[in-house]
Chains A and B, each alone.
Chain A
Amino acid sequence: MMSRSRSGSGRGGDLARTGGLSIADPALADAAAALIAAGYTVLPPTEHAEHPRLSAREQQVAALLLDGASNKVIARELDISVHTAKFHVTAVMDKVDARNRADAVAIILREGLIAL
């Protein structure tokens, strides 16, 4: 399990040169590959890697959490049942290891888990 700590990796001295990267996230890997192909230097995104990225549905739910939506409001906005809304909210909170909704929003914003 990787640490949530912000220190340690990712500093200037750890700059990875072309070919030295191992990136699990496909979107990130694509971005890095495009840069590397052009001969650029890429920073290794080693931090926060223990939080899997959110599914498209979970991103919608996370965006509604950002607006303070209740399960009922999430259900209405996404045209799903309250039960299903609650299920998605729980899934989001589990994915980001959040204790509560406010905590989940803090982590989602800090780690860029939804489009801004």
Chain B
Amino acid sequence: MSILSDLSNDAAALAAGVSPRVVAVEGSNGRSSSGFIWRTGLVVTAEEALEGEDEVTVHFGNGASTKATLAGRDPSTDVALLRAETPEFGEWATADAVQPASFALVAGRGETSAIATLTSVGEVGPAWRSMRGGRIDANIVLALRLSSRTEGAAVVTPDGKLIGMAVSSPRRRALVIPASTVARAVAMLNEKGYVPRGWLGVMLHPVGSGSGAIVLGIEDGSPATAAGLLVGDVITTWDSEAVGSVGSIAQRLGASAVGSKVKLGVSRGGNAHDVEVTLGERPRG
């Protein structure tokens, strides 16, 4: 046997091995994406791909399918959690750090067939924050583009360990939401049904070219009130890091911000002030 044949056979065996955990997720609008069994009774899928969430059907590798209910969705990490009767599985063993050019299997499912692609990791970068403030533990980009049916697929190492969940970036690059990030979202969604967001309690407006954000309004009973922020203050730094504009403040108000203390650098009429704020949890509804 040639090395190429061996590689091909091993890849197919790997895909077959993980297949029982991998599901197709079909919304009531008929659109199908991928997902996988996180552990018995819990299915993880890509939040952005999940539409028609009121009637979700999960299709398994053995041809069976079942109705699922939405436990919650976290657009800040692109994780949606479903509850469904599933085959029994413990938690998936997760991969340690991955390297650029190391092989990865993207394992998804269509309604009637497994969809699996052997690819490689193209880029591994440090943790980053999504637009909505989700902390993504590593910037892992795969060397392929995802089809809409494989959004939410499991990404595994050649020894079958879970790297994370495949999702599409706005430019359809295939990003991996690392397993540790998915695990945090799953824990939160399973417990609360949502992922909390940090709350400062201010209306902001951009000023200048990335030189901060001016406070236009302050919500009653908010952390901003308690900290003594004033309308007209220009927030210029957040824990001594320059604040570009409103978006960079929004990015800092993810789940991990709730309850944390930050030092805001504020320009109040040209004079620099420090304001200590204990961030709250954004009220819901």
Q: In the complex, which of the residues B207, B216, B231, B245 has the most CB atoms of chain A within 10 Å of its own CB atom?
A: B216
Q: In the complex, which of the residues A41, A67, A106, A111 has the most CB atoms of chain B within 10 Å of its own CB atom?
A: A67
Instruction: Give the interface segment out of B2-10, B145-153, B194-202.
Output: B194-202
> Does A68 contact B214, Cβ atoms closer than 8 Å?
no
> Cα distance A10–B208 when bound, in Å?
4
Tally of A-B residue pairs with Cβ under 8 A?
A: 107
Question: Chain A, 73-116, contact with B by CB distance < 8 Å: what is the 0/1 string?
Answer: 00001000000000000000000000000100110011110111
> Does A43 contact B207, Cβ atoms closer than 8 Å?
yes
- Report if A66 contacts B (CB, 8 A): yes
> Cα distance A6–B246 when bound, in Å?
13
Shortest CB-to-CB span from A16 to chain B, Å, is 11
> Does B132 contact A112, Cβ atoms closer than 8 Å?
no
> Does B231 contact A30, Cβ atoms closer than 8 Å?
yes
Shortest CB-to-CB span from B69 to chain A, Å, is 14
Q: A111's contact among B206, B209, B217, by CB below 8 Å, is which?
A: B206
> Does A116 contact B75, Cβ atoms closer than 8 Å?
no
Given A43-B211, A72-B54, A34:B200 Cβ within 8 A = no
> Does A115 contact B217, Cβ atoms closer than 8 Å?
yes
> Does B232 contact A102, Cβ atoms closer than 8 Å?
no
> Cα distance A6–B217 when bound, in Å?
23
> Does B75 contact A66, Cβ atoms closer than 8 Å?
yes
| Chain B residues, CB < 8 A from A105 | 75, 131-132
> Cα distance A25–B253 when bound, in Å?
26
> Cα distance A111–B214 when bound, in Å?
11
Given A31-B231, A68-B47, A106:B131 Cβ within 8 A = yes
| Chain B residues, CB < 8 A from A68 | 47, 73-75
> Does A116 contact B249, Cβ atoms closer than 8 Å?
yes
Shortest CB-to-CB span from A57 to chain B, Å, is 14
> Does A112 contact B269, Cβ atoms closer than 8 Å?
no
Shortest CB-to-CB span from B173 to chain A, Å, is 15
| Chain B residues, CB < 8 A from A40 | 232, 269-270
| Chain A residues, CB < 8 A from B211 | 10, 43
> Does A109 contact B269, Cβ atoms closer than 8 Å?
no
Q: A66's contact among B47, B132, B216, B247, by CB below 8 Å, is which?
A: B132
| Chain B residues, CB < 8 A from A48 | 206
| Chain B residues, CB < 8 A from A111 | 205-206, 246
| Chain B residues, CB < 8 A from A45 | 205-207, 214
- Report if B137 contacts A (CB, 8 A): no
- Name the residue of chain A whose CB is nearest to the CB of B133: A109
Q: In the complex, which of the residues A7, A39, A70 has the most CB atoms of chain B within 10 Å of its own CB atom?
A: A70
> Cα distance A115–B245 when bound, in Å?
14
Write the residues of chain A forming the contact surface with B, with a CB cutoff of 8 angstroms. 6-7, 10-12, 25, 27-28, 30-32, 34-35, 38-41, 43, 45, 47-48, 66-68, 70, 72, 77, 102, 105-106, 109-112, 114-116
Closest CB pairs A-B (n = 9): A40-B269, A112-B204, A112-B246, A68-B75, A109-B250, A110-B247, A10-B208, A43-B207, A31-B232
Write the residues of chain B forming the contact surface with A, with a CB cutoff of 8 angstroms. 47-48, 51, 53-54, 73-75, 131-132, 170, 194, 197, 199-211, 213-217, 219, 231-232, 234, 245-247, 249-251, 253, 269-270, 284-285
